Amino acid sequence: MSADVTTTEYLYGIDTSVHDDARFYQRPHAVAFPVVKKTPKRVYYEINGRTRFVDRQRLEADGKVQRVGGWWESDLTVYLSEPVVEQPKPASLAELKRAMADAHPDRESGSHEAFIAARARYEQARAAA
């Protein structure tokens, strides 16, 4: 028995996961789109059940293609290889404590609202540690 195995090719994008509700926040991450067809001029791929295409020559020459679309779409920029998405380093407890002290109302630059916000960030980080 011979199995006809075809390799699936992918294009990639970055999902920034922008929502109005912070409960659903996810850090930006790479997502894969299966390639469904290649022609000499275009590469067709699937996203959310829809087929879209990009210019093949530009994709192969530059490694990425900027599409026309909404800023929220994960395929606004389509990459030939999986992009590395750098994640911001969370602030240390010492940095958050310093920011809380700087925001204190007794300091010249501090205010009550800024102190409450800084303290909430510090308490949240402390609870997570």
The mean pLDDT value for 25-50 works out to 92
Q: Which residues pair with 30 in a beta bridge?
A: 14
pLDDT 10s digits, 83-102: 988 877 777 888 888 888 88
Question: Which pLDDT value is given to residue 1?
Answer: 41
Q: Which tokens in the block code for residue 86?
A: 């750098």
Q: How far is CA 12 from the centre of its chain?
A: 12
Global pTM reads 0.62
Which residue's structure tokens are 């469904």? 36
Is residue 113 within 8 A of residue 100, CB to CB? The reply is no
Which contacts of 31-34 are long-range, i.e. CB under 8 A and separated by 24 or more positions? 31/74, 32/82, 33/75, 33/78, 34/8, 34/9, 34/10
Is residue 35 within 8 A of residue 10, CB to CB? The reply is yes
